[in-house]
Chain A
Amino acid sequence: MKKLPIAIALCAVCASASSYAEVRINGFASIVGGKTLDDDTTLYGYDNDISFKNESVFALQLSADLQDKLSATAQIVARGENDFDAEFEWAYLTYEFTDELQLSAGKMRVPFYRYSDFLDVGYAYRWVRPPQSVYNIPFSTYEGLSLLHSSQIGDWDSTLQVIYGGYDGTIAVVSVNGDTELNDIAGINWTLSYDWFSARAAYFVADTSIAIENDTPTGVALNELEETLRNAGFVDQADNIAIDEDDGSFLALGFSIDYNNLLFDAEYTEFEVDNSALAKQTQYYTSLGYRMDEWIVHFTYENNDDKHENSRYNALPSVPPLNQGINLVLEGSKAKSNVYTIGTRYDFHPSAALKVDFSRFKDDITDTETDVVAVAVDLVF
């Protein structure tokens, strides 16, 4: 089922290539080298040995304008972290009803965040990577529909997008490889912008199921507790641990300013899967930048806070050992951290930028700090 939209888009692209439609090829690439600054630390996929592979990306996009307002687009992305195995990350057909309204169907990016749609296109933003405390949802694409309405309200540009679809794959939550199914992903995403100012709000819901594998100590502990609860007849308590057909919701608010070479960005996000072992996540970042012709310098502060509501604790007071087990699992899913990043971007070529970012990640629970430095060359062609 997952392959179908890709196949359709591909056929469309191939068919058009051999006939009359115009096929455009665009691409982007990022070569990123980075490392952590201390022994035995890891962050953003780096350790103390320099890696040029971890965050590097190559991508090609083929788009074909078929006749009668129909177009087909496919984006093939090769990531260093996957040994540069090329994968279709986007493959969709678009029908333009009017200048203002278009419908796309196929495999696309879930527009969780302001920079979601062009997350891989490093050239489009100032950091080496967008603030990871916020940009941390472990999957990014879906298969389904996207309705896009762009209009002008006085001097303001409005972009309203409604999506519907599903996701089926494996993602790393608690365990490393958890079979995940997100059904009925539905969401709305609205951006209003006026010359130098832009504001955005997004809200998504999904019916969420994530299988926890026994491939991490936390995964093992969680599965054992769930099984014990279920075998002892505490079905509700077991269901409140498992991530099985639970309501997931995601909210994002953000704005950005680009005024007289002064740049300011902020995003706030909340992510929750009801009645599950996953803690409610609250994240934000604020970022200030200043542009001097081809140079940008920037400073970013990020914050992440994951915890369960107090009412979730002491769910089984009648059986103290199990009650304690539940409390431990809830407590174990807590996270609290912040990141400071300073960096610079230099547009040394009309289609290429050089970036250097230094980030200090602080885990407030373990009270440890990790520093990462990364250098990137981003290009579009």
Chain B
Amino acid sequence: MKKLFLATALTVCSFSTLAEVAVIVNPANANQIDANTIKKIYLGKSKSFDDGMKVNPVNQDSNSVADEFNDKVVGKSGSQLNAYWSKLIFTGKGTPPEKLSNDQAVIDFVSSNTDGIGYIDSAKVTDNVKVVAKF
């Protein structure tokens, strides 16, 4: 039993480090969105898409997908991002993206909000959302 647990844990670990993160938007969103734009959106520097629509980003709540995304796309650790946002929150200069608890919640949010953008484990992508980039 112990071994099984260990094996499972190992699989989960190796899986999570190798997992690919997909950045998803609503299928109705036709904007071109590159890695740099995504980074700016998640740092609160870009507040609208190219076509002028307000951007409504969501994060995941400190899970492995979030860690992966922060590391690969935003280039900051969870603590560094917390420090970054605390500088903006407590000075009225910005509000961090809302945190959702898992991939499915992000898919639901993005598929029902035209201005939504989020990231999920790329293996979980469904037809209800459009992938704009993979990392």
Contact = CB atoms under 8 A, between A and B. Distances in A.
A99 B48 contact: yes
Contacts, number: 59
A90 B91 CA distance: 9
A61 B45 contact: no
B89 to A, nearest CB: 5
B92 A94 contact: yes
A7 B6 CA distance: 58
Interface string A340-366: 000000010011010000000000000
Chain A interface, DSSP helix/strand/loop, else mixed: strand
A71 B82 CA distance: 22
Most chain B Cβ neighbours within 10 Å, of A26, A28, A109, A125: A26
Given A123-B86, A124-B86, A63 B78 contact: no
A61 B79 CA distance: 20
B82 A380 contact: yes
Nearest to A99: B47
Given A99-B48, A118-B87, A152-B45, A123 B92 contact: no
Contacts of A125: 83
Nearest to A61: B90
A73 B92 contact: yes
A293 B80 CA distance: 10
B82 A350 contact: yes
Given A99-B47, A157-B45, A123 B91 contact: no
B47 A63 contact: no
Contacts of B82: 123, 350-351, 380
B62 A75 contact: no
B93 A75 contact: no
A125 B80 CA distance: 10
Given A24-B95, A118-B91, A350 B48 contact: no
Given A94-B92, A150-B45, 8 more contacts: A59-B90, A63-B95, A117-B91, A121-B86, A121-B90, A123-B82, A157-B45, A350-B79
5 contacts: A71-B92, A92-B92, A118-B90, A159-B93, A350-B79
